[in-house]
Amino acid sequence: MRFAKGLAGLASVGAMLAVGALAPSAALAHPCITETEAAMGKSLTLHTGGNWAGNMPSFNDLEHECAEDTNSYLYDASKVKSAAAGEPVGPVISAAGYVIKNLTAVGYSRRDVPLTGAGSGVYNSDLAFKDNLVIAGTYEGFRILDFTDKANPTEVVNYKGCDVGQGDVVVYGNLLIRSWDQAAGPSSMCAGQLVGNGFEGIHVFDISNPAEPKFIRQLRFAADNPGLVGCGSHTATAVPDPARDALYIYNGGSSSACNGIDIFKIKISDPTKIDIIGRATNKGIDARTGVERVGNNSCHDNNVLLNVGGTSTGYAMCAGGNGLTMYKFDLAKPVTEEGSVEKPTQLWTQQMPGVGTGHSGSFTYDGKYLMFGHEPGGGSAARCQASSTIVERTLYLLDPLTGETKGEMLHPRPQGSRENCTWHNFNVVPTKAGYYATSGSYQSGISIIDFSTPAAPKEIAYADPAPLVTEPETTGIVLGGDWSTYWHNGTIYQSDIKRGVLSWRLNLAGDASAAQADAHLKKINTLVESNPQTQIGSYAADSTVPAITFKTPSEGQTYKVGAAATIDYECTDASGIESCVGSVASGTPLDTSKLATKTISVTATDGAGNIATKTVTYKVNAVDFPVAVGSEELPSVLGLSLPGKLTFGAFVPGIAKSYEANLTASVTTNTPDTTLSVFDPSTTNTGRLVNGTRSLATPLTIKFASGTGATGLAGGPVGGSATPTPLLTYASPSNTARNATLFFQQKVAANETLQNGSYGKTLVFTMSTTTP
């Protein structure tokens, strides 16, 4: 926002009219003039050096351009009411007539600025942050607010006495820098001392004790500045370089006479030492037209993104005049080299068609997109009406490396003719995945934007107050609304021009259409030293959704009614899984109770908040009906055919010998398993061949030799009826006889006495089955 400087008298007005510098009839209307006057073009858009980027009422030595209401903006802050303690936010929201979607007001720090009359121009302006401290710029200085308790903020200090300009604030460590953007009069003061006639520039404070800010020094950067002619400081952006003990300020001037970023260097260890380094020019070949950029290309706001891609590279953007310019610098380079922090390299510059007041910017933290906003009408005009032009209502998403437009966001809530409105100050939220931004747009209030798909950005939350109305009611615009709305470490902070600072909480849980945004916005990278215009800590966005794998059931799998199966799925992601929830839990029985086409859905959320959902369909499409079919019972058959007798021949006395013979058995069995064993039924001389009363000393041994389909068992000495000797087994039935050869062995020792006659024994072979 830019508030044009007040004029010393009507003679100055006449002089400016003579050169045609008065704003055209389409210019914005101040709240102190009538609609008729606005139509006549009596509202000025001038500043030292010519037409500049913005315009709102201001004051200079108690004089103002609104000739018919010279007391409206007298610099008398006695009517401004602030409160040291936080107040319940509900009554404020109710009185303001907010229409709210997906936001909840949390806390409020009052600084009421009168709607009209004395003090009505001592506005609340921009915000900066240090941990839980909110530094709120004002037109008389700045306030430091402690928002440790978001619902009950406290005013640590209301620093007054810097009585010119909007007071843009920058914070780094214990340093606070306040911008002064108008030529001071002889009585203008800051920090209890005269700043000097014509002063423009910055004031530096030490806020190591927030309750007692200490003034360190001022830097004059005025039109009469020796060397590099100055244009004051409308906005300032910090570029910290602690390795060189330097805090660089990328300064946005107060006039179109300064075409570029002015660079100051503050020594961190001794901030009394400040150097004016130079100016990074905005002049160059227009990236859109291919010819020299023409027209006003000053810098209104500058934005930087540090550590791009995890490197020492930084991006810088200057928005102002009819477009914007992009730069790149390397903090690792010596400052004497081109492309260093003191000599940033211009990547491109361009005029944006239809834009006359380039204003703000913010980068995505991966450096892939740049959000660019402009301020038609300088902020005090109604440029969000349904009848306003498309360009007036458009926020742009650009490629930082090329300037190519990747998406456009049209203001989604048309405002009335008495509500000053444009896209104003915003910042990108440092989510781990997706792209989101918070914006303050004057009397259209707060807007939360999801531009995860840059070509199709959308608003997912807002808080829109009713138009400001005076008593008695006037016909023109009563200037007010959100100067800035920023996201900082999980809380949304709103600087309301007339009311003070409010804190808000995003509340998307009940909005099914914003489920993905809700998950992303719960996963924030907390960047301690980052501020809206100084984005510290670039990182790659996680754009990979979690993987969901179904093992059971698989897609399209079919089951019979009553079939037993267990549901089995898993969720995986490199960043870890926050949740893996299915319509039916993994590990539970699969429902096959009846014929149906069924689905199981699983939703997974990863560590960056990315959500994936997978649904599988399975069918229960068959029923079993058992029917017994078979024959009459077939009797079991166990058959064995053996030769009637087996003989070894005659034993020869006095000779040690092993007498051997084979016997072929024919086996018939139709049972699944069959075992053949042998035993000696005799109770005396069991297992030994006998001759009368005598028996051989060594038992008879029988083993399996060979056979179709048979498996040999242990065999060995023939046992008795209680311990038969196992010979072979069959593992399958057969309807034909199978031969099995058995090996018989009888050992006779040389000293064994043999009796005349024959030796023999009747053995019993047994066939058995476990499944008769």
C-alpha 615/C-alpha 140 separation (Å) is 60
CATH code for position 444:
2.130.10.10
pLDDT digits (tens, 9 = 90+) for 22-76: 222 222 333 333 332 233 232 222 233 333 334 444 433 323 333 233 233 334 6
Q: Of the candidates 68, 3, 4, 9, which has an alpha carbon nearest to the alpha carbon of residue 34?
A: 68
**Same domain for 308 and 164:** yes
CA distance 53 to 65: 18
732: domain CATH number? 2.60.40
Given 535, 570, 587, the domain boundary residue is 535
Helices (H) and strands (E) in the chain, counts: 4, 51
Long-range pairs of 314-317 with CB within 8 A, sequence gap ≥ 24: 314/239, 314/341, 315/363, 315/367, 315/400, 316/237, 316/239, 316/250, 316/261, 316/280, 316/344, 317/361, 317/363, 317/370, 317/372, 317/400
CA-wise closest residue to 427 among 370, 498, 367, 509: 370
The single residue listed with the structure tokens 């267990």 is 566
Q: Does 72 map to a domain?
A: no
Q: What is the domain range of residue 764?
A: 638-768
Q: Kindly give the parts of the chain with pLDDT less than 70.
A: 1-76, 78
Q: Are 160 and 118 in contact (CB under 8 A)?
A: no
Give me the half-sphere count of Cα atoms (radius 13 Å) on the Cβ side of residue 699.
17
Is 199 in the same domain as 147? Answer: yes
Residue type, 575: S
CA-CA-CA-CA dihedral for 707, 711, 715, 718, to nearest 10:
-70
Q: Give yes or no: residues 507 and 551 share one domain.
A: no
Is 48 within a domain? no
The three-state DSSP-derived secondary structure of 579-620 is EEEECCCCCCECCCCCCEEEEEEEEEEECCCCEEEEEEEEEE
Q: Are residues 354 and 449 in the same domain?
A: yes
Q: How many domains does the chain have?
A: 3
DSSP string, 635-653: PP-EEEE--S--------T
Instruction: Determine contact, residues 544/633, Cβ cutoff 8 Å.
Output: no
The pLDDT value given to residue 76: 63
Are 557 and 702 contained in the same domain? no
Of 384, 402, 477, 389, the closest CA to residue 439 belongs to 384
Same domain, 238 and 304: yes
User: pTM for the full model?
Assistant: 0.75
End of a domain among 567, 591, 622?
622
Does residue 38 sit within a domain?
Answer: no
Amino acid at 496: D
Is residue 209, in this structure, part of any structural domain at all? yes
What six digits make up the tokens of 761? Answer: 């024994």
At residue 166, the pLDDT reads 87
CA gap 598, 615 in Å, rounded: 10
**Do residues 511 and 580 both lie within one domain?**
no
pLDDT of residue 10: 24
Per-residue pLDDT at 21: 27
Q: Are 456 and 466 in contact (CB under 8 A)?
A: no
Burial (0-12, 13-18, 19+ Cβ within 10 Å), 386: exposed
Q: What is residue 255's predicted lDDT score, i.e. its pLDDT?
A: 77
Sheet containing strand 500-506, edge to edge, reads 81-82, 103-112, 500-506, 491-496, 482-488, 425-428, 436-440, 446-450, 458-464, 99-101
**Domain end call among 482, 503, 535:** 535
Clarify whether residues 758 and 676 are in a common domain: yes
| Same domain flag for 643 and 595 | no
CB 728 within 8 A of CB 676: yes
Domain-embedded: residue 276: yes
Say how many Å lie between the first and final Cα of the chain, rounded: 101
In this structure, the answer to whether residues 169 and 263 fall within a common structural domain is yes
> Is residue 61 in some structural domain?
no
Task: Assess if residue 427 is contained within a domain.
Answer: yes
| Distance set, CA 277 to CA 2, 261, 274 (Å) | 25, 11, 9
Measured in whole angstroms, how far is the alpha carbon of residue 314 from the centre of its chain? Answer: 22
Domain with residue 583: its CATH number is 2.60.40.10
Instruction: Say what the pLDDT of residue 84 is.
Output: 81
- What is the rounded distance in angstroms from the CA atom of residue 63 to the CA atom of residue 708? 123
659 in the same domain as 567: no
299 and 346, same domain (yes or no): yes
Instruction: Answer whether residue 162 is part of any domain.
Output: yes
Q: How do beta strands 345-351 and 323-330 pair?
A: antiparallel
What is the chain's length?
772
Q: Are 136 and 80 in contact (CB under 8 A)?
A: no
Alpha carbon distance 73, 298 (integer Å): 27
DSSP structure class, residue 515: H
